[in-house]
Structure 1
Amino acid sequence: MKKLLLFGAASLWMAVTVTTQAQDISNSSSSTPPHSKWYLKIAGGYFFSVSPGQFPNVGPYPPQDLHTEYNPTNANPLDTLSRKVLTGSYGQGVRGGLSVGYNINKYLSVEGTFNYFHSKKNLMTRQLTTLVGTSKALGSVESHGYVNAVDFAPSLVVSPGWQKVNPYVRFGVVVPLWGRLYIETDATQISSPPGIPAGTQVATVISRKEEIKPNVTIGFQSALGVSFMIASRFDVFVEAEYRNVPVKSKEKEITRYEETNTLINATSGAPVQVISSRTLSDLSTAEKNTVYETTLDQNSNTPINQQGTKVIYKDNDKASNDLKSYINIGGLGLNVGLKFRL
């Protein structure tokens, strides 16, 4: 009986071995010629915000959509008509990537991807003041922000190793290499300073752009996709990807500033003459440059006064200080791309 069991086991082992070898020969004869273990991928996609939060302040202006009404007959002349907190994320936008990959074996591979990201523009603050009983705007501030970034994303790819249609899971980290948060602000104000001719007012128009540089950070990324073989060297793939990349501000620089003060007719609003203007070169170092800190104290270079639109700091010849802000450039997106086996 023991010999019979040994013979049966040996026969079963020989049958499995022969069947496996036959399948390998069949697969090798019908499969594509072997290639290098290296491959390249190019992809593009669109990402949506999945974790919106409150936007950071734009200078002295909080992230609100605020409409106030000016009534000079009241003791407190400004009445709030509407107020809304502005929320969102800089993770929504278009992304393109170039990857280099290496197949460790049939089931595992490693990839390194360089990505470029451009977010949609977000409304960060809007302040509007109108004259009571009219739609005449006495002052307005509106800011929009967007992010451009380049990152490197190393990851591990796991799949069942199928040939024609191959699902996979990819996960790894995100290391931002370069990035900027750009904020563009347009502001107007109508005022009646002392010393101007009777029947006139001063219209101030300001346009500025600032760049915020981030601190170094590390994020997380993962994807679920499927690859379709279309030729011996080419695959088309589609994947859903999730990214979580928190970023905090490091420093800010104003790169464009245009201000014009024009004398206008108080009734018709027609311009009379330009009385003064300021450009980027007229800004002090403190107005132009900001270093962000976790805590502000008595040693921080903060504003102490204001003359018109000019802000006076403790030290105008040194970069000013402000509190750090935080944004997230992650999101959930869909990528489509092409894979080329070398």
Structure 2
Amino acid sequence: MKKPFLLSAAMLALAISGSLQAQDHSSSAPHSKFYLKIGGGYFFSVSPGQFPNVGPYPPQDLHTEYNPTNANPLDTLSRKVLTGSYGEGVRGGLSVGYNINKYMAVEGTFNYFHSKKNLMTRNLTTIVGSGKELGGVESHGYVNAIDFAPSLVLSPGMEKVNPYVRFGVVVPLWGRLYIETDAYQLSAPPPSIPVPGAMIQTTIHRKEEIKPNPTIGFQGALGVSFNVSPRFDIFVEAEYRNVPVKSKEKEITTYEEAHTLVNGTTGDKIQDLPGRSLGDLSVAEKNTIYVTTLDKNSNTEINESGTKTFYKNDNEASNDLKSYINIGGLGLNAGLKFRL
């Protein structure tokens, strides 16, 4: 009789102990209303537009053919307008949030964005009959940016699976549009280089950075949060962003120009000729300030000599028309939420 009685007493003691522990747990201080989120995702372009010009080259994929027997030696074989958006790419962010109540919260998110590379212009010239390339220009551009996105979050306050909507604004803090250009040209040498059958092969590699004007955009998301522990949630969401950006100023940061005398038939190198580097560019060639209107007071191009461009004032930044891009899009995000 003693054994059953002792067993019953032990079970009762365990039950009372468990009840007291549950009461202590329920009376413990709740989590802070603050939380952190870390996430990332990929965005797709939903509103592609025509890319801005790259210097004198419009946003076109142009293939022309050189035929010296024609009055107009250049015939257009194909022409295509290049469109797209800088909103396509990868994005990662860190958020700080505060739960106002069970159904409403406010968030502030710092995001880093890197867009995919876009073909902005391509211009190819070949010789009729042989298809040999006389020259070509090809430019690709991409965007890196950091922004701050404050938003309001609304949900039905469910515990395990909680859908929500989030909407707010986007304030870009820093950003650059980088454009990399490679050019190639074959041309006849000047009379000062009397080498029969020779051609001058010119190659140029250039990188420029375009700084934006201050702007503001809009963002909204529809998502679901899955509770996995008292402190952690996993979330997935679809987000839309619209962030129009216009150019402010441009600087060429890399410039490599090489000239080589080659055999016009075989392409074999004969000798290197003097070229230009970044330090040889004038202030006007290296720097550009964008304006909404060009007039007689604008510092615009007046002449060209080979690869060098002359402006009204070579010692001041040149002027060009403002261009517009959009770094918004439709994306899919996923991440982790931690309640403090």
The one of 317, 320, 323 aligned to 1:322: 320
Taking only the aligned residue pairs, the percentage that are identical comes to 78
The one of 248, 273, 286 aligned to 1:250: 248
CA distance in 2, matches of 1:233, 1:310: 63
1:100 Cα deviation from its structure 2 partner: 0.2
Q: Which amino acid aligns with 1:236?
A: I
Question: Is 1:188 aligned to 2:184, yes or no?
Answer: yes
What is the DSSP-based 3-state SS (H/G/I as helix, E as strand, rest coil) of the residue aligned with 2:205?
strand
Give the match for residue 151 of structure 2.
155
CA distance in 2, matches of 1:141, 1:255: 18
Give the match for residue 8 of structure 1.
none
Structure 1 residues 294 and 204, CA gap change in structure 2 (3 angstroms): same
Question: Is 1:273 aligned to 2:237, yes or no?
Answer: no
1:276 Cα deviation from its structure 2 partner: 1.2
Question: Is 1:212 aligned to 2:202, yes or no?
Answer: no
Give the match for residue 283 of structure 2.
285
1:32 Cα deviation from its structure 2 partner: 9.9
Instruction: Supply the RMSD in Å over aligned alpha carbons.
Output: 1.5
Q: Which amino acid aligns with 1:292?
A: Y
Contact 1:46/1:335 (CA < 8 Å) preserved in 2?
yes
What is the DSSP-based 3-state SS (H/G/I as helix, E as strand, rest coil) of the residue aligned with 2:284?
helix
Give the match for residue 222 of structure 2.
224
Deviations 1:82-108 (A, max 9, x none): 000000000000000000000001111
Give the match for residue 341 of structure 1.
339
The one of 34, 47, 52 aligned to 1:51: 47
Contact 1:33/1:232 (CA < 8 Å) preserved in 2?
no
What is the DSSP-based 3-state SS (H/G/I as helix, E as strand, rest coil) of the residue aligned with 2:129?
coil
CA distance in 1, matches of 2:200, 2:278: 21
1:80 Cα deviation from its structure 2 partner: 0.1
What is the DSSP-based 3-state SS (H/G/I as helix, E as strand, rest coil) of the residue aligned with 1:62?
coil
What is the DSSP-based 3-state SS (H/G/I as helix, E as strand, rest coil) of the residue aligned with 1:267?
coil
Q: Which amino acid aligns with 2:210?
A: I
The one of 162, 168, 180 aligned to 2:164: 168
1:194 Cα deviation from its structure 2 partner: 2.5
1:30 Cα deviation from its structure 2 partner: 8.3
Q: What TM-score do the two structures reach when normalised by structure 1?
A: 0.91
Deviations 1:177-208 (A, max 9, x none): 00000000000000003213221010000000
Contact 1:32/1:232 (CA < 8 Å) preserved in 2?
no
Matches within 5 A, 1:1-342: 34-195=30-191, 196=193, 197-342=195-340
Q: Which amino acid aligns with 1:207?
A: H
What is the DSSP-based 3-state SS (H/G/I as helix, E as strand, rest coil) of the residue aligned with 2:137?
strand
Structure 1 residues 75 and 234, CA gap change in structure 2 (3 angstroms): same
Give the match for residue 9 of structure 1.
none
What is the DSSP-based 3-state SS (H/G/I as helix, E as strand, rest coil) of the residue aligned with 1:287?
helix
CA distance in 1, matches of 2:248, 2:28: 52
Give the match for residue 11 of structure 2.
none
Q: Which amino acid aligns with 2:262?
A: I
Show structure 2 runs of 5+ residues with no match.
Answer: 1-21
Q: What TM-score do the two structures reach when normalised by structure 2?
A: 0.91
CA distance in 2, matches of 1:207, 1:61: 15
Query: How many residues were matched structurally?
Result: 316
Contact 2:189/2:198 (CA < 8 Å) preserved in 1?
no
Q: More deviation in 54-63 or 194-203?
A: 194-203
Contact 1:238/1:336 (CA < 8 Å) preserved in 2?
yes
1:321 Cα deviation from its structure 2 partner: 0.2
